[in-house]
Amino acid sequence: MSPSVLFVCLGNICRSPLAEGALRAEAARLGLDLIVDSAGTGDWHAGEPPDARAIAVARRNGVDISALRARQVTPGDFRRFTHIVALDHDNLSSLRELAPSRATAELSLLLDHVEGQTGQAVADPWFGDEAGFEVTWTQVTAGARGLAQRFSRTG
């Protein structure tokens, strides 16, 4: 079974679509067969595209996330994906509460997959400016590389 990753933040319009785009790009670069998606713990942005600032920072880095649409995490996601990766502690806590008793997905924080950053949250750029999205892009890219390296080692 191919690894499958669901990235989760609050509204699924900033951090998690950036992480999805970063991992898709890294998997393509390495020739990995991965299923990658993103979702939010909240539903108020369902059906919306990523924030324009997220689209812009991804595009500047050669990744197009403009076709992605926000959705909310579902109970089925906990069995559909092998890994559910939260972007911060609050969302990880929400995921643990939402997980059905028969969940099989491994839960983690994205920066747990970056040497020296275990337990850290990805910066939330929502209330900031373009510079905040650059910081977030740097963090999600590092996390995507760490995950991809893990998958390339384990097959």
User: Which positions are catalytic?
Assistant: 9, 15, 124
Tell me which DSSP letter residue 41 carries.
S
Amino acid in position 72? Q
Rounded alpha-carbon distances, angstroms, from residue 48 to 17, 43, 69, 128: 11, 10, 5, 20
Angle between helices 52-60 and 15-30 (to 10 degrees): 20
| Both tokens assigned to 110 | 């994205």
| Both tokens assigned to 92 | 């990880």
Gap between the Cα atoms of 4 and 116, Å rounded: 24
Interior angle at CA 77, CA 121 and CA 26, nearest 5 = 55
- Which residues in the chain belong to E strands, given as ranges? 4-9, 35-40, 83-86, 106-109
